[in-house]
């Protein structure tokens, strides 16, 4: 049987490269959702990885690092936060 | 392609219509939903429409404070979880880490708070304070000193103040849990005993 494709539509999905069931430790929302201050997940609400391997919504982590009591430490392990490159 | 755009539009619309509280409320709601129910701890909401203020009641199962019922108010600010909840003990009690005004000295409520902790972590911390007070980091220095110097006398002092007795001009609250059979025979300030 010969099949001739007349028309096709591409559909793409995306997700962040993190384990399925993990949530941001700060807001407790899924990584694939956005931080509580944003409305639409995606490039406008990215994730940020530390050298300590911990991941957060970037907006959540920056808000924490901006607070006096954070002492610029990772909220998980209290090591100085260094963004992984 | 048009279909994808329409789908995206309806998703955005759905997000917009969904009632979205402030970030702190959303996070608090998750924390409250994940609390582990326990026989010795009650959570009460004096105003059901406001989840940011609630009471925690703890009945320690072991240690110096067994038989007591200890009450705390929690206040969760708009900056939660970037700021810890404010916790106060509403009774006047004799405790190395809680002063007679109700201020609580607990690391996770101050210098060791971090936003990955939750309401449950704070409750665990409070429970630990009653199971094993920490005289190394005192708010009530006299109580801490007595606990280090003479644990037996400290235990007696705790038991007496829990009945609502006055010591050194401080009128302590009667914190005895009426439902606890361990309190049978313990006396109140007015001399009446339970049962």
**Whether the predicted pLDDT of A10 surpasses 60:** yes
Question: Is this prediction's ipTM beyond 0.95?
Answer: no
Confidence of residue B184 (pLDDT cuts 50, 70, 90): confident
Distance CA B190, CA B160 (A): 13
Both tokens of residue A3? Answer: 């099949």
Distance CA B94, CA B66 (A): 14
**Domains of chain A by start residue, with CATH:** 1-85 (3.30.40.10)
- Which pTM was predicted? 0.82
Handedness of CA B142, B62, B126, A80 (dihedral sign): positive
Interchain contact B27–A (C-beta under 8 A)? yes
Contact B4 A36 (CB under 8 A): no
Confidence of residue A77 (pLDDT cuts 50, 70, 90): very high
User: Among B3, B79, B116, whose Cβ lies nearest the Cβ of A25?
Assistant: B116
Cis peptide before B81 (omega within 30 of 0): yes
**Whether the predicted pLDDT of B58 surpasses 80:** yes
**What is the CB neighbour count within 10 angstroms for residue B43?**
15
Distance from CA of A36 to the nearest CA of B (A): 5
Helix (H, G, I), strand (E, B) or coil at A1: coil
Structure letter (DSSP) for residue A57? E
Confidence of residue A19 (pLDDT cuts 50, 70, 90): confident
What mean pLDDT, rounded, does chain B reach?
88
Distance CA B67, CA B16 (A): 50
- In order of A45, A68, B8, B21, B55, the CA distances from A37 in angstroms are 9, 20, 19, 10, 28
**Domains of chain B by start residue, with CATH:** 22-182 (3.10.110.10)
pLDDT at B27: 92
Choice between B194 and B27, residue whose per-residue pLDDT is larger: B27
Q: Which residues of B169-180 are buried (b: 16+ CB within 10 A; e: fewer)?
A: eeebbbbbbeeb
In chain B, the residue whose alpha carbon lies closest to the alpha carbon of A28 is B27
- Residue of A12, A26, A61 to mutate, testing the B interface (most B Cβ within 10 Å of its Cβ): A26
Distance from CA of B145 to the nearest CA of A (A): 30
Confidence of residue B19 (pLDDT cuts 50, 70, 90): very low
**Whether the predicted pLDDT of B5 surpasses 90:** no
Distance CA A74, CA A66 (A): 12
CB B136 within 8 Å of CB B125: no
**Whether the predicted pLDDT of B195 surpasses 50:** no
Contact B115 A60 (CB under 8 A): yes
């Amino acid at each position: 049987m010969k099949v001739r494709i007349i028309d096709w539509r591409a559909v793409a999905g995306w997700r962040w490269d993190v384990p399925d069931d993990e949530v941001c430790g700060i807001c407790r929302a899924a990584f694939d959702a956005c931080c509580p201050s944003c409305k639409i997940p995606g490039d406008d609400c990215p994730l940020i990885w530390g050298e300590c391997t911990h991941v957060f919504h970037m907006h959540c982590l920056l808000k924490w690092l901006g607070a006096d009591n954070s002492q610029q430490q990772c909220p998980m392990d209290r090591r100085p936060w260094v963004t992984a490159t | 392609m048009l279909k994808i755009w329409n789908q995206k539009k309806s998703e955005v619309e759905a997000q917009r219509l969904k009632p979205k509280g402030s970030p702190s409320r959303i996070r608090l709601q998750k924390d409250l939903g994940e609390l582990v129910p326990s026989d010795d701890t009650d959570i009460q909401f004096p105003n059901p429409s406001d989840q940011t203020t609630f009471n925690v009641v703890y009945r320690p199962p072991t240690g110096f404070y067994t038989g007591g019922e200890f009450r705390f108010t929690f206040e969760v600010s708009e900056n939660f979880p970037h700021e810890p909840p404010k916790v106060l003990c509403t009774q006047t009690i004799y405790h190395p880490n809680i002063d007679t005004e109700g201020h609580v000295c607990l690391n996770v409520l101050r210098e060791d708070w971090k936003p990955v902790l939750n309401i449950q972590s704070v409750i665990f911390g409070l429970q630990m304070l009653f199971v094993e007070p920490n005289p190394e980091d005192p708010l009530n220095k006299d109580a801490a000193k007595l606990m280090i110097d003479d644990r037996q006398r400290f235990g007696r002092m705790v038991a007496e103040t829990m009945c609502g007795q006055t010591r050194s001009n401080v009128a302590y609250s009667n914190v005895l849990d009426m439902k606890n059979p361990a309190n049978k025979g313990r006396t109140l300030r007015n001399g009446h005993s339970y049962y």
